[in-house]
Amino acid sequence: MSDAPLIDPFQRPITYLRLSVTDRCDFRCTYCMAENMTFLPKKELLSLEELDRVSSAFIGLGVRKLRITGGEPLVRRDIMEYFRAMSRHLETGALDELTLTTNGSQLERFAGDLAACGVRRVNISLDTLDSQKFTDITRRGDLDKVKRGIDAAQSAGLRVKINAVALKNFNDVELFDLTEWCAARDMDLTWIEVMPMGDIGNEDRLDQYWPLTDLRDQLATRYTLTPLAERTGGPARYVRLEETGQKIGFITPLTHNFCESCNRVRLTCTGELYMCLGQEDRADLREPLRAHPDSDEPLVAAIREAITHKPKGHDFDYSRQRPDGQVSRHMSHTGG
């Protein structure tokens, strides 16, 4: 049974690992972090070698897609060593896809190296095309630098998808501008409802919350939306805009629970395995990693045991005018 695939209690195969390699980020987005974050001591983070071991263990258990997240994954020191190590699984065919989610700030520097490691597409988080609003929401970001990163990624042959968090009274007025900008650059666009994760200081998520049902209705006033049957096992549901040909995704953890086909788990930069983004249950994989440096058998056993506790779904809910189901950890710790 050591090489049997991972199947959760609801008969969902686990084929997708989202791995956070750092909790650090060069932005402080208002819906993701407090302005004055306290980051984890570096000794608590998995080393690059440990990240390799745990990723390879999951791949050996049937994970076919590996997405690298953070924080901002490209601020992790020597992170390209890890990407180069993972490329061997692409070469053997054990892994179908190696990809990452990034804020784009470091792509101008790393896009070519990522492509050389077998990365074929990236998701870039971008919520506004207004330079001042971008600086305000990221608290320190430079929109022009991100745009240069997008240019570098496309020049390197990477397929780019933009992820935008839907925020009321912020980017709702940019819906059509963002859509047309992405279409002009041959980029798909996915909208995400703001999720109740972590203490973000003075920001109120109820004030930020813009349901995607409203967003989709607005899109339909200008475009013909054709629902697509495409399913990745992930949370997004897709439509094609007939007028532009681009694909628009909707990730709706609040207006539509997307858990029935969930094929993923998330591993934090400290080795905590979360079987569900919206639940607090977790398993410690750092302990078997460090206690048994010469054998992966205890690690594999810990992974298998954890998957038996994967829940049916999450509990996010804003319907009672409070962020029910809120979890205490920041998205930057779990991995975006």
**Cα dist. 187→65, 160, 250 in Å?**
21, 6, 15
| Cα separation, 283 vs 267, whole angstroms | 9
Residue 269 annotated in ligand binding: no
| Cα separation, 133 vs 128, whole angstroms | 7
CB atoms under 10 Å from CB of 256, counted, come to 14
Burial class (CB in 10 A: 0-12, 13-18, 19+), 23: buried
User: Which residues on neighbouring strands pair with residue 190, listed in sequence order?
Assistant: 163, 249
Spatial CB neighbours of 219, under 8 Å, sequence gap ≥ 6: 175, 179, 225, 241, 248
65 is written with which tokens? 């897609």
Residue 120 annotated in ligand binding: no
Residue 29 annotated in ligand binding: yes
Residue 117 annotated in ligand binding: no
Residue 265 annotated in ligand binding: yes
| Cα separation, 269 vs 287, whole angstroms | 13
At residue 266, φ and ψ (nearest 5 deg) are -125, 135
Residue 329 annotated in ligand binding: no
Residue 101 annotated in ligand binding: yes
> Which residues are documented as binding site for GTP?
18, 67, 101, 161, 264-266
> Which residues are documented as binding site for S-adenosyl-L-methionine?
31, 71, 125, 195
> Which residues are documented as binding site for [4Fe-4S] cluster?
25, 29, 32, 259, 262, 276
> Which residues are documented as binding site?
18, 25, 29, 31-32, 67, 71, 101, 125, 161, 195, 259, 262, 264-266, 276
